[in-house]
Every structure is written in structure tokens, then in C-alpha cells.
Amino acid sequence: FVSLGSNLGDRAGYLRDAREALSALPATTVVAASRVYETAPQERDDQDAFLNQVVCLETGLQPLDLLAECQRIESEHGRVRTLRFGPRTLDIDILLFQDAESDDPELTLPHPRMVKRAFVLVPLADVWEHARGMPDMDVAGLGRATARDQRVRLYEATEG
């Protein structure tokens, strides 16, 4: 499971481009995509709201190879890493990887902050039915609990 986020420029376009780029990776298919949610920024509130989405992938890539590809896609879409938790055109985070755990500083799996973030848990609940080899988690319950304190609303695009 991979989360997508954007709060600069054509936010919905960046999410769409990310889904397309992920599906074009070698031995990778986008199995499902959540609905898109608009969320208030976390950690730093001096920035615009984010659009967030979670996609479920099937991939033959190893976790660190997938991470490298995600970072390449971010860079190709103008992502600049200057301010931690700051505004970004595109943010792609690996949340969970089937039958994989890692405490590598480069990639921690499961994502260490995902269970505290409604902007991850609410869309993850949309696609959790596709979970295979993942930790036993009440994603929907965690999403409801965190959403009480964090503003998350379904985003309705104006385009067709």
C-alpha cells in the first residue's frame, strides 16, 4: 500500500500522474485506488490543504527498489525536499509491503506514523479489502478514531 499526497499546483493532476507512473513501473499493477480526500496539513499548518489517496499495488519490485522509483516519480513531478513536512507537489510513501517489515533508516515498514494519521487511514480503509500478508489491523476503526481530531473530507473533483 502506497499513499499519495499533494498540496501545490494541480493537486488532483499530480495524484492522477502518480497513479499512472506507478502502474507503468516494471512488474507493477495498480490493483485499487481509494477515493481522494482533502485534508488539513499536519505538523505544519502554514500551508494549503492536501489531497490524499492510497493505492494498492502488486509489484515484483523489492521494497527499496520501489522506494527509489517513488522518489524518482516525486522528483519528475517537481518535488523539492527543503522543508520537513512542508508543501509539496507530490509525496509518495510506502505504507505497508506484503510480508515485509523493516527498521532500515531509509525505509521503515510498516510506515511508523501511519496509524496516527487520518489522511492515511481513511483512504487506506477504502482499499483494505485487498490486503494480503499485512498486519492484522482495524484500519476502519483507527481511521474513524483519528478522523475525530483531524479534518478529513471526501474531495469531489469538478472535472468529469
Catalytic positions, please?
Answer: 79, 88, 91, 93
Nearest residue to 96 (alpha-carbon basis) of 68, 149, 59: 59
User: How far from 78 is each of 16, 73, 116, 119, 150, CA to CA, in Å?
Assistant: 15, 9, 27, 22, 27
The answer to whether the beta carbons of residues 94 and 59 sit under 8 Å apart is no
Query: Measured between alpha carbons, how far is 103 from 75 in angstroms, rounded to an integer?
Result: 24
